[in-house]
Structure 1
């Protein structure tokens, strides 16, 4: 017997280091496709947020439970909506594998760009717990998705509306007019 979840398109993971615009883009995609937007940052335990706010990078052990929770929330959202987009750094292959373990197939839009542009964007953010001092640790941890993950590589020097249209075209959702 087929259920609604079997018919739902795979969720779209909008990934990249801090400051690449994951939240902005994922929200825009979800809105244009009349889907659900989720931000993985909303599911960090308080200890993780406190750790990062102190300028300390998370280690793998600190991420496992968080990634499991993100997968659980995305999966539950697929029961309620036909289209789910989530923003998550997902820096390492092992993190994306952990998400896939809970989700199955997912599309990956990898946001990337020059360090200088990312740092400039981070410096302009207000009231965000992630300090610019963690950018280099994120860049060091970044394992870009390889061809086996079939990612869509998105250059953040393009405006969000261009990237949104690119992602929606790639995965079969025409932008609404």
Structure 2
């Protein structure tokens, strides 16, 4: 009888150890951060195309002349060219910030300085877009300006109608509802 009790006790301990191992392994697996799937080049091109289609809809709403449409496209291309190095710099600064924050001994002053650099680049990007909007506005007739101004005043969602959804960043931004 004593022998059976000892075997039952050992078996119970083994089963409990296996269950604990399986359970803790599944918890650890569930907590692993999974990498986000990368967009394929054709998906990025499709997103950019949707943005250009949105801009075309905005042009139609303003009833632009052919000359205005061409100038608008030129301004848009110039904006995109201006944004490329700024976006690259922003990505580098964000990666640097991530490294600073995950260091063994994070230095708050270095983190704050890096965050300030990020803010400066974001301000440069925003100002480039504002300059672009003002250049677009300058080329419009008074009637077209009224429509354009109403899009600007209606906020980001209104500008999305005019400039489209592609390439302006990821997500709706702070304080904006998810769509």
Query: Structure 2 length normalisation: TM-score?
Result: 0.32
More strand, by proportion:
1
Larger Cα Rg: Structure 1 or Structure 2? 2
